[in-house]
Amino acid sequence: MIAPALTKNQSLVFDVLVRAEQPISAYTILDRLRDHGFRAPLQVYRALDKLTEAGLVHRLESLNAFVACAHRNASCCGGHSHGTVAFAICTGCGQADEFHDHEIDHRLTVWAKARNFRPEKTTIEIRGLCARCAA
């Protein structure tokens, strides 16, 4: 992965996401960075675009929120960048658990190949209650 160094804004946004430890919206990020000079949504969205491109951040479609990648140091599947990532999102506490399943990945690939569908980005999100919140 040839990742260029992060710019100042990108670092600030990434830092907020890492500290959050759970998905947060772009506007929440904006609010947390007002003291650092952020004034407009675009400053956040532009940084998020680059960070997601670089694989450092994931967007959760069912939440309209963003989360720092939990597999930054995993070597599985080349830092999971070659595989599809899935999330289990607790509607109780907001925690999002990132995981990867080869077999699911494989099945989706097979489906796509059989239909000459060329996948670009795959979203897998399970919403529900985590063990603690379901108890």
Longest CA–CA span in the chain (Å) reads: 52
- Quick check: 14 binds Zn ion (CB under 5 A)? no
CA atoms within 13 A on the CB side of 134: 7
CA distance 38 to 32: 9
Residue 88 region by backbone torsions, left for phi larger than 0, else alpha for psi between -120 and 50, else beta: beta
Stretch that binds Zn ion, among 9-17, 29-37, 42-50, 125-133 (CB under 5 A): 125-133
Among DNA, its own copies, Zn ion, none, the one that 69 touches (CB under a kind-dependent 5 to 8 A) is Zn ion
Of the ranges 36-44, 76-84, 100-108, 118-126, which one interacts with DNA (CB under 7 A)? 36-44
The residues of the shown chain that bind its own copies, judged by CB under 8 A, are 61-62, 86, 88, 90-91, 97, 99, 101, 103-104, 107-108, 111-112, 115-131, 134
